[in-house]
Structure 1
Amino acid sequence: MPAKEFIVAIELGSSKITGVAGRKNLDGSISVLAVAKEDSTACIRKGVIYNIDKTGACLTNIVNKLKAALKMEIAHVYVGVGGQSIRSVKNVILKDLPEETTITQKMVNELMDTNRNMKYPEQEILDAATQEYKVGTVFQLDPVGIQSTHLEGNFLNILWRQAFYRKLNQCFDNAGIAIGELYLAPLALADSILTEAEKRGGCVLVDLGADTTTVSVYYKNILRHLAVIPIGGNNITKDIASLQIEEADAERMKLKYASAYTDNAEIDDTLSYPIDISRSIESRRFIEIVEARMQEIIENAWYQVPSEYYDKLLGGIILTGGGSNMVNIEKAFRNHTHVDKIRTAKFVTQTINASSPDMLPHDGTMNTLLGLLAKGDLNCAGEELDPNGNLFGGSKPTTGGNTAERHPRSASELEPGVIQTAAEKEEAQRIAEEEAQRKAEQEARLQEEEEQRKREEEEERRKNNLWNRMVRGVKDFINKMTAEESD
């Protein structure tokens, strides 16, 4: 019997696009019902779409595979946003208040809206993480109810190129797949693999992907920094392939022989690794190639950590992603960062059930996708498919827009990590334009009323002046007549 309720999440990675359908159970666990994958190397680079048509075709194939497995239409999907050009920028909004003003939630919301309306050249604000508020000279996480003459909001804005955002929405539009929600993928990942103690005590989450490495810094349960470095595991493969080796063979050798760190005393100079039947490569040369690139990745990741948090990482460094499976990866990070507390997150903290272990490998590659699945709260099930097996007939289509049925929300109404969809942005812009027009009309009306009042006052003054002149003229005439009679 087809499942009537399920969540569908899609992750657009540099090596593959993956879709998963799962059902949330009453005990809080998630049962995975179907998984579908498509190779994305021909359409996505560094986590960014560069071929819209091929990406749309991959998305269509993913959804069709899931529909065939579920025997149900898919009304909408949850999508993770990540990849190159995502970066965080600190911003401060100031507000001076009259003396003895009690700060209200409305004032705080106005500060948040002002920050959200910041404009960055060719950049889109995906999310804004509140750092703290400065009330007078004291920093507060919640300033509501405090009296002050000065309120300062400190925010961390997550930016992405507007062109990438438009391409993402266009791909789903072209594929006729409705977006139920857009999530910032690194935040969904962090919520699924980091513990509260790690976030509170301070930690660095490093997601080692195929084309990119994503670094997230947390302290006191707040995201403090986010950056995506455009190098990953594929760079190691290409370095090996530079020895005139096919990339497929280079990838195979990397997975089989590569180590993130090898002690010099353990290197056997007489050992060689076979490339094919007739060729081989000395182990020392292979190790040097791998370690050189791995060192570059680690140093760039560590460089992203703001220096003020170096001594505030009680939670240590948490590694995840496909690259975290490399031998001695923790030792390599420990050597370069001098942080002793390092762990590798092979799987999410939620309880996930699957009919087959092959569906959910515990190697860090599914963590982001499962994090997106856990975030979903709207039923993605449409109508049942045609019992004759025709995916496109016999049932009313439920996809075909870029946004699911949901009341458009303003930026201040969004949960952390949730991104406004294209329709919500359009609705927010429409509301803003209507509000601006309403204010302009109100200001014009007030100005007209003021000008009318001034005209009336001027007319009254003119009349009063005329009356006064008449009165003075009468008085002067009377005085003159009286003076003549006296003479």
Structure 2
Amino acid sequence: MSYNEDLYTAIDLGSATIRGMVGTKKDGKVLPIAIAEVPTSNAIRKGVVNNMEELHNKLKVLIDRLNEQLPDQHTEIKKVYVGFGGKSLMSRSYKINHKMDNPDGEEISDYHINLINERVKNYRLNAHEVLDVSDPYCLVDGRVERNIKGLLCTEFSIHFNLITTRSSNVNFIRMAIEDRLGLELEAILPSPCCEADVLLYPDAKTLGVALVNIGAGTSSVAIYKNDTLKCLRVIPFGSKNITNDLMSLHITYPEAEKIKLEEAHPFTDAYDDESITLRTADGSREREIKMRDINSLVTARMKEITANVFRVIRDFEAGARLGSGIVLAGQGALMRGFINYLQNESKFVSLAREFNDKVYKDDTPLSSDVDYAGCAGLIYRADVNCVGSIDIPQTTVSPSSKVSRPAQPAAVQADSPKEAPEETTSTAAPQEAPEQHPQQQAQTSLFDLPDIDQPHKATKREPKSAKRKKSFNWFSKIKDVLTNDDID
């Protein structure tokens, strides 16, 4: 089988499992070609990098498995899109307002639009980096308008959500992908938003819906209304916390995990008088554990996770306006009795069982495994080919070894001019940054800290940093809305 279309590579960093996918797009829909997964072990904790060496080993195995499944064995993965859903990931709502000098109103001109653009570019974030900006829109005298240039008004504003995480999280991922594996990191995108792209239908996003993913180390809540992301929060609790709680009964982690999935009956006292029997590893003795103790621990932790989920929804004041209710995803959502308990708290609760119409499911390695929703969503957003040809036959050569191949210096030099046009747009702002940065720090702005779009300074530890692209040129997306570019 061969593909003439671009191939995209996605890696979703989970606290329990790291998943990867290679796919293409046909008629705007994701067509999976290869999938693979590896257990996270200690590499990722709470969704963030915990052990760099272990993460490198896990990713190397994952990339090798994906390379083996590529339709053309003379190609290999060279770039990746990475999904991040760890703690500190969140959305921040912003509004930039401009009042006209004439109280009777003025025409919105390029001058006014450029003023807004400059204010957007001068925003600061404290040790955080922007991964995405969600559907910015313009209000002109209180009305939503698509094309604002030329309109008469007394004031207008632009509204947007920045999705951010700590800069250290981004730096660690870059280090693992670029410095350790020798691959190019094309972008880091928020996993909850990528999952929503391929799990939620447009009608649900319009009426209002909360996509709740109960993962191993974290739980995410993404709230949509009027087809726009309104709120994103990551809660630092997940199903692994339940396993750790059960270990307080003096059992091992594998035993606790098995009991959590197979024996626990939370939210009910029907089994409290029963007990389970565990044998030691050598089978020499037995011990009994009361179901009452098991169920009380599981119930308490699941109630805590649920309370935090509903607090996010209610703090947003959208609980009564979510016409499509709550959609659950993640392995933690499959815990026995969890859905029934949530249905007592909220009227409309459902489980994400399949992809929407943006993903091909038949005759693909994916089938209906929604655990790969993060990877499928990354490929849905991808727009740069991630697979390239190799000159040396690939037998036992690992992807990371291509950094030091002596036979390919000419190929590397030949590729550089081709990449330059792609980076022209994204590097325009950083070229100006060294001249503006000292003055900008002295300005009074929303965040009195260095511009988030400043390029990372080159160090001995990160020799590639001078060539790195920004993770996301977020203000260009807002500029497109102001100038009505790329809008049908």
TM bin (shorter chain): 0.7 to 0.9
| Structure 1 residues 166-245: aligned runs within 5 Å | 166-174=171-179, 175-245=181-251
User: Are the structure 2 counterparts of residues 316 and 107 from structure 1 closer, same or farther at C-alpha, using a change threshold of 3 Å?
Assistant: farther
Q: Which moved more, 1:386-395 or 1:189-198?
A: 386-395
> Residue 151 of structure 1 aligns to which amino acid in structure 2?
F
Q: Deviations over 1:136-167 (max 9, x none)?
A: 3x242536143123223333222211111111
User: Are the structure 2 counterparts of residues 326 and 158 from structure 1 closer, same or farther at C-alpha, using a change threshold of 3 Å?
Assistant: same
The answer as to 2:323 corresponding to 1:314 is: yes
Q: Deviations over 1:318-361 (max 9, x none)?
A: 111111212222212122x3x211111023213434767xx547
Distance 2:178 2:217 in 1: 26
- The answer (yes or no) to whether the contact 2:12–2:82 under 8 Å persists in 1 is yes
1:37 paired residue number: 37
Distance 1:370 1:226 in 2: 19
Cα distance, 1:116 vs structure 2? 4.9
1:478 paired residue number: none
Q: 2:276 aligns with which of 273, 277, 295?
A: 273
- The answer (yes or no) to whether the contact 2:9–2:23 under 8 Å persists in 1 is yes
Cα distance, 1:8 vs structure 2? 1.3
Helix, strand or coil: the match of 1:94? strand
Distance 2:47 2:38 in 1: 14
- The answer (yes or no) to whether the contact 1:322–1:363 under 8 Å persists in 2 is no
> Residue 56 of structure 1 aligns to which amino acid in structure 2?
H
2:353 paired residue number: 346
Distance 2:155 2:145 in 1: 15
Distance 1:41 1:290 in 2: 22
2:68 paired residue number: 68
1:158 paired residue number: 163
Distance 2:253 2:110 in 1: 57
- The answer (yes or no) to whether the contact 1:127–1:157 under 8 Å persists in 2 is yes
Distance 1:346 1:113 in 2: 44
Q: 1:284 aligns with which of 292, 298, 302?
A: 292
- The answer (yes or no) to whether the contact 2:94–2:159 under 8 Å persists in 1 is yes
Distance 2:256 2:187 in 1: 38
Distance 1:399 1:364 in 2: 38
- The answer (yes or no) to whether the contact 1:348–1:371 under 8 Å persists in 2 is no
Q: Which protein shows a greater Rg?
A: 1
Q: TM-score, normalised by structure 1?
A: 0.76
Q: Deviations over 1:25-64 (max 9, x none)?
A: 35x5544332222332322111111322332232222222
Helix, strand or coil: the match of 1:210? coil
1:323 paired residue number: 332
Q: Which moved more, 1:222-231 or 1:393-402?
A: 393-402
Cα distance, 1:284 vs structure 2? 2.4
- The answer (yes or no) to whether the contact 1:245–1:275 under 8 Å persists in 2 is no
> Residue 196 of structure 1 aligns to which amino acid in structure 2?
P
| Structure 1 residues 453-468: aligned runs within 5 Å | none
Cα distance, 1:432 vs structure 2? 4.0
1:123 paired residue number: 128
Cα distance, 1:14 vs structure 2? 1.1
Cα distance, 1:312 vs structure 2? 0.8
Cα distance, 1:390 vs structure 2? 3.9
- The answer (yes or no) to whether the contact 2:355–2:373 under 8 Å persists in 1 is yes
User: Are the structure 2 counterparts of residues 124 and 366 from structure 1 closer, same or farther at C-alpha, using a change threshold of 3 Å?
Assistant: same
- The answer (yes or no) to whether the contact 1:132–1:139 under 8 Å persists in 2 is no
User: Are the structure 2 counterparts of residues 106 and 79 from structure 1 closer, same or farther at C-alpha, using a change threshold of 3 Å?
Assistant: farther
Distance 1:112 1:184 in 2: 24
Cα distance, 1:429 vs structure 2? 1.5
| Structure 1 residues 140-159: aligned runs within 5 Å | 140-142=144-146, 144=148, 145-159=150-164
> Residue 119 of structure 1 aligns to which amino acid in structure 2?
R
Distance 1:388 1:181 in 2: 26
The answer as to 2:6 corresponding to 1:16 is: no
Distance 2:131 2:24 in 1: 28
Helix, strand or coil: the match of 2:101? strand
- The answer (yes or no) to whether the contact 1:115–1:155 under 8 Å persists in 2 is no
User: Are the structure 2 counterparts of residues 104 and 168 from structure 1 closer, same or farther at C-alpha, using a change threshold of 3 Å?
Assistant: farther
Distance 1:361 1:208 in 2: 22
2:372 paired residue number: 366
User: Are the structure 2 counterparts of residues 270 and 45 from structure 1 closer, same or farther at C-alpha, using a change threshold of 3 Å?
Assistant: same
Q: Deviations over 1:407-456 (max 9, x none)?
A: 2376xxxxxxxxxxxxx4x652213446889xxxxxxxxxxxxxxxxxxx
Seq. identity, %: 28
Q: TM-score, normalised by structure 2?
A: 0.76
2:7 paired residue number: 6
> Residue 124 of structure 2 aligns to which amino acid in structure 1?
K
Distance 1:373 1:143 in 2: 30
> Residue 55 of structure 1 aligns to which amino acid in structure 2?
L
User: Are the structure 2 counterparts of residues 364 and 66 from structure 1 closer, same or farther at C-alpha, using a change threshold of 3 Å?
Assistant: closer
Q: CA RMSD in A?
A: 3.2
Helix, strand or coil: the match of 1:245? coil
Return 5+ residue gaps in structure 1 as ranges: 411-423, 438-487
Q: Which has the higher contact order (CA 8 A, sep 6+)?
A: 2
Helix, strand or coil: the match of 2:221? strand
Equivalent pairs, count: 415
> Residue 7 of structure 1 aligns to which amino acid in structure 2?
Y
Distance 2:383 2:159 in 1: 30
- The answer (yes or no) to whether the contact 1:177–1:399 under 8 Å persists in 2 is no
Cα distance, 1:124 vs structure 2? 1.8
Cα distance, 1:253 vs structure 2? 1.2
User: Are the structure 2 counterparts of residues 233 and 260 from structure 1 closer, same or farther at C-alpha, using a change threshold of 3 Å?
Assistant: same
User: Are the structure 2 counterparts of residues 269 and 189 from structure 1 closer, same or farther at C-alpha, using a change threshold of 3 Å?
Assistant: closer
- The answer (yes or no) to whether the contact 1:2–1:384 under 8 Å persists in 2 is no
Cα distance, 1:362 vs structure 2? 4.5
Return 5+ residue gaps in structure 2 as ranges: 439-488
- The answer (yes or no) to whether the contact 2:205–2:228 under 8 Å persists in 1 is yes
- The answer (yes or no) to whether the contact 2:131–2:188 under 8 Å persists in 1 is no
User: Are the structure 2 counterparts of residues 430 and 225 from structure 1 closer, same or farther at C-alpha, using a change threshold of 3 Å?
Assistant: same
